[in-house]
Amino acid sequence: MLIAVASVKGAPGVTTLALGLAALWPELGAVLVECDPDGGDLAARFGHHPDPGLASLAAAARTGLTQVPLAEHVQRLAVGANVVLAPPGDGAAAAVQTLTYSGGETLRRAGDDQPVVVDLGRLSRGGPGLALAAVADHVLVVAGAQLADATQVQARLEWLRPELSGRLWLVRAGDGGYSSTELARDLGVPVLWDLPHSRLGAGALTGQLRVPNWRRLKLARAVRGMATTLTTAQPASILPEFDPARQLAVRPVVEGRHR
């Protein structure tokens, strides 16, 4: 299974969620591939060298091999996640671009053998991350719960939906504003789960805090719930086709109440 995690504006916990999914996936063998063109932070946060990692994976993909094993490019982080680390700076963007040349075939084939979570950072129209999202089985868009966040997602759905072959989900981050039910109804996209604020949980997943019991915290419980839901979710190929005429304009909501 190939799972893409992204945002459409800003970075409201994309890397935190992606790393949490890789660490808490209910099946063995899950791997996070850090494919944010503006990323490359995890190596420094957890005190690792970024090689082997995304650069070596991209180099292997350039050889034209039909299948590139991820295991040769993975490092194990302290939170218990296997990660293909991106280099900092322009090296991350170059490696991501290389992986898009074949239409994301390297990652798609890897996802046929094991759960692969891809951190795409911020999706943009025509950007390299969109080509990788296009081949994912599930695409999780992390968005805040306020009106401005919802309108930013809505403004991009027209070009985002047609690009995807997998199932599109929202992950609601933060408190207040739209409820999950309201977001799903007004945007026409199911909300997979709420991503709760957790200083200790986020601190553990960003490498800023050592929290031995972080897997028991509410953030970890939410991420584990998302992973479990994704393992049993129906693929997009058997879902009813989305009708854009039924999508409603986003309506202002303050603390869950319409005005």
pLDDT digits (tens, 9 = 90+) for 197-233: 899 999 999 999 999 999 999 999 999 999 999 999 8
Above pLDDT 90, what percent of the chain? Answer: 77
Alpha carbon distance 97, 94 (integer Å) = 5
Q: In the chain, how many domains are there? A: 1
Pairing of strands 253-254, 257-258: antiparallel
Quote the pLDDT of residue 10.
Answer: 76
The answer to the question of residue 9 being in a domain is yes
DSSP 148-195: HHHHHHHHHHHHHHHH-SSEEEEEEESSSSS-HHHHHHHHS--EEEEE
pLDDT in tens, 131-188: 999 999 999 999 998 999 999 999 999 999 999 999 999 999 987 788 999 999 999 9
Range of the domain at 131: 2-231
Q: Is the pLDDT of residue 44 over 90?
A: yes
Tell me the backbone φ, ψ of residue 234, rounded to 5 degrees: -70, 140
- Which tens digits make up the pLDDT trace of 233-250? 877 765 556 555 555 666
Assigned domain for 244 exists? no
Q: Is residue 255 a part of any domain in this protein?
A: no
CA 198 to CA 209: how far, in whole Å? 12
Tally of CB atoms within 10 A around 67: 10
Q: Does residue 189 sit within a domain?
A: yes
Residue 246 falls inside a structural domain: no
Domain membership flag for residue 185: yes
List, in order, residues 6 or more apart from 16 with CB less than 8 Å away.
202, 205, 206
Which DSSP symbol is given to 70?
Answer: G
Q: Is residue 216 part of a domain?
A: yes
Q: Which of 221, 144, 226 is nearest to 179 (CA)?
A: 144
pLDDT at 118 over 70: yes
The vertex-170 CA angle with 212 and 129, nearest 5°, equals 90
Centre a 10 Å sphere on the Cβ of residue 124 and count the other Cβ atoms it contains: 14
**Does any domain span residue 137?**
yes
Query: What pLDDT digit, counting tens, does each position of 8-21 carry?
Result: 987 679 999 999 99
Pair 34, 84: CB distance under 8 Å? yes
Q: For residues 84-98, give the mean pLDDT.
A: 94
Number of other residues whose CB lies within 10 A of the CB of residue 115: 23
Q: What angle do CA 193, 170, 152 make, to 5 degrees?
A: 140
CATH number for position 140: 3.40.50.300
Q: Which of 87, 110, 117, 92 is nearest to 4 (CA)?
A: 117
Task: Give the confidence band of 66 by pLDDT, cuts at 50, 70, 90.
Answer: low
